[in-house]
A and B are shown apart, each in its own frame.
Chain A
Amino acid sequence: MDSSLLRVENLHKQFRLDRTTTVHAVNGVDFELAPREAVGLVGESGCGKSTTARCIVRLEQVTQGGIFFEGQEITRLSQREFRPVRRSVQMVFQDPIMSLNPRLTVRQTVREPLLVHHLTSTPAEMKARIEEIMTLVNLELSLLDRSPRQLSGGQRQRVGIARALVTGPKLVVLDEPTSSLDMSIRIHVIDLLRRLQEQMGMTYLFISHDLSTVRYLCQRVLVMYLGRVVETGPVDEIFDRPLHYYTRALLSAIPIPDPRARRQRIILKGEPPSLTKLPPGCGFADRCGFAIGACREDEPALYDVGRGHRVACRQAAGLRS
């Protein structure tokens, strides 16, 4: 009995660059999302978080594995069969400038999902729905007839959010929605997202490299490296008691805006291996402080260490007990 809203099973995605090079972007990712929760998917560039998100909304074709939305497998559906599902699965994009069609007014952008899914039957209904969503995202109705060029960054991003929410989706995938915004605006948008989630009872999959935002907004988090999930669990548990060497390094690298905070920084040496040639075993072994010989032979599974905390490392899991 599948009670989850979204279930990702053994997801693999490869990109073929040319006859000899393949980029292994996602290499066996599993997770579940329950209704009404906010889950963060974090990692640095190249870890596969954006690709995973794009697979979920079918902007990319999955190479291997399955994605189940409300129990229904969606990767094998045709684009036409998938369309009704898009009502319930939406995405907010990173760059507010590029994600809005420069030739459309705000009204036209927000209206389109309603048209495509035939969600309103009279013009009056449509007008009401548009105004409702605009108010919900704190945008003045007078902005409806402006084009994106005439809006500020925060306003543009809110239009993007309005577009994603106007169909009343159950799952919203947010791909770094505040990375391009200034600090003083960021908190307004994040706060808005938090309130909207509570109000509309949605599930968020929040993709970000900014762990501070994830800590604020999400209840659970998944840490990715080289296309795999290396650690997952409740936000407070992972951030306060990270086990995987990479998670520790990642958290320790983030500067804290408090001059009194003491930092014990773990500096990783070297760089991540190329995604075109994945090393055998655990891909992190060459940079890991815990690595032993066996690490380079078998890829570790996710070990459960209690409290919903799972980590893909034998040594790290051993630290728990």
Chain B
Amino acid sequence: MTTQESSPRWHTLAGPRPVRWFLRSARSLLGKKLFFLSLLLVLALLFLAIFAPLVVPYQPLKTSPDEQFLPPSSEHWMGTDQFGRDMFARLVHATRLDLMISFSVVGLALVVGSLLGALSGFIGGKLDDVLMRVVDILQSFPAFILAMGMAAVLGNSIGNVILAIAVAYTPYFVRLTRGEMLRVRRLEYADAARCVGVSPWRTLYYHLLPNSITPSLVQAALALGWAMLDTAGLAFLGLGIRPPTPEWGVMVSEGAKNILSVEWWTWLFPGLAIFIAVFGFNGIADTLRARVMREE
């Protein structure tokens, strides 16, 4: 009876008793199973990312003109692309890059956004007003469009991609943390800290900030999935990461040319990889959110 707010109440449907029982247990088991599955997927990806060079037998950038478009076989588990490069090798190396970008983006946005939001909520006044207007402006663009614009301006490099997407995400964390800070600031333990004689900075750092950051942390888990999609999206459009660097979006973009022809392995596997990564992160984020809600 804790996570019923957001999900459809399958188990309250009318129907023969065995059906209702089945649906009810499916619901609670699915909750746990979802988490384990997501965790498994993410851990598998992390493993691949870290041990990439040890896992793959081929070089991701090595071209081989006479091995073009080979379908999946025991030699090339996922086949080869138009330059004869082993797909599996490229995919695994791309995992490295994509995960690194996602974590960097979210890490940057979370840290900078939360600090700014907390300070803004705590200090208030002109600083708060100005920052909120800046946030409003940034949020008036859809995040992806904003990232696109920035990437186009900054130029195509990994660092710029990270920066562009991080800037697009920061406003959300600013808002979330600021909101919590405004609430927490009025609570009695904030007064109690003042009364004890705790300095304002220590109050902020030791008492208020840890209690304002929970929604941002949950959002960060979700943002990992989005960052993945945004990176791939940018690369697909030709911004940010460019070929021949192996990256899932780049690979999808290259494989997309073959979508109507026979070489299905060139777009299916990278697409599947994105799907698995996003699914995994979202599953973890969802469980985190449910746990947090239950605690409140």
Instruction: Return the CB mask of B178-209 against A: 1 if under 8 Å, else 0.
Output: 00000000011101111111111010000100
Instruction: Give every chain A residue within 8 A of B191 (Cβ-Cβ).
Output: 59, 93, 99
Contact A86 B196 (CB under 8 A): yes
Total A residues in contact with B, Cβ cutoff 8 Å: 24
Contact B196 A99 (CB under 8 A): no
A86, A99, A100, A160: residue with the most chain B Cβ atoms closer than 10 Å? A99
A113 sits at the interface (CB 8 A): yes
A83 sits at the interface (CB 8 A): yes
Main secondary structure of the interface of B (DSSP, over half): helix
B15 sits at the interface (CB 8 A): no
Which chain B residue has the least Cβ–Cβ distance from A114? B196
Give min CB distance, A16 to chain B, whole Å: 16
Instruction: Give every chain A residue within 8 A of B188 (Cβ-Cβ).
Output: 93-95, 98-99
B211 sits at the interface (CB 8 A): yes
Instruction: Return the CB mask of A82-103 against B: 1 if under 8 Å, else 0.
Output: 0100110011011100111111
Which chain A residue has the least Cβ–Cβ distance from B189? A101
Instruction: Give every chain A residue within 8 A of B193 (Cβ-Cβ).
Output: 101, 112
Contact B210 A87 (CB under 8 A): no
Q: Tell me the bound Cα distance from A186 to B208 in angstroms.
A: 30
Which chain B residue has the least Cβ–Cβ distance from A98? B188
Which A45-100 residues sit within 8 Å CB-CB of chain B?
A: 57, 59, 79, 83, 86-87, 90-91, 93-95, 98-100
Main secondary structure of the interface of A (DSSP, over half): loop
Q: Tell me the bound Cα distance from A87 to B195 in angstroms.
A: 9
Q: Tell me the bound Cα distance from A116 to B194 in angstroms.
A: 11
Contact A91 B197 (CB under 8 A): no
Contact B210 A103 (CB under 8 A): yes
Instruction: Give every chain B residue within 8 A of A113 (Cβ-Cβ).
Output: 196-197
Q: How many residue pairs, one in A and one in B, have C-beta atoms under 8 Å apart?
A: 52
Give min CB distance, B211 to chain A, whole Å: 6
Give min CB distance, A149 to chain B, whole Å: 9
Total B residues in contact with A, Cβ cutoff 8 Å: 17
Contact B197 A86 (CB under 8 A): yes
Contact B198 A101 (CB under 8 A): no
A117 sits at the interface (CB 8 A): yes
Contact B198 A112 (CB under 8 A): yes
Which A136-161 residues sit within 8 Å CB-CB of chain B?
A: 160
Contact B197 A99 (CB under 8 A): no
Instruction: Return the CB mask of A101-127 against B: 1 if under 8 Å, else 0.
Output: 111100000001100110000000000
Give min CB distance, B114 to chain A, whole Å: 16
Which chain A residue has the least Cβ–Cβ distance from B194? A59
A163 sits at the interface (CB 8 A): yes
Instruction: Give every chain B residue within 8 A of A90 (Cβ-Cβ).
Output: 195-196
Contact A87 B211 (CB under 8 A): no
Contact B195 A57 (CB under 8 A): yes
Query: Footprint of B on A, CB under 8 Å?
Result: 57, 59, 79, 83, 86-87, 90-91, 93-95, 98-104, 112-113, 116-117, 160, 163
Query: Footprint of A on B, CB under 8 Å?
Result: 187-189, 191-200, 202, 207, 210-211
A-B contact pairs, 5 of them (CB 8 A): A87-B197, A98-B188, A99-B188, A100-B189, A116-B199
Given contacts A98-B189, A102-B211, A112-B196, 11 further A-B contacts (CB under 8 A): A79-B200, A83-B199, A91-B195, A93-B188, A99-B191, A101-B189, A112-B198, A116-B196, A116-B198, A160-B192, A163-B192
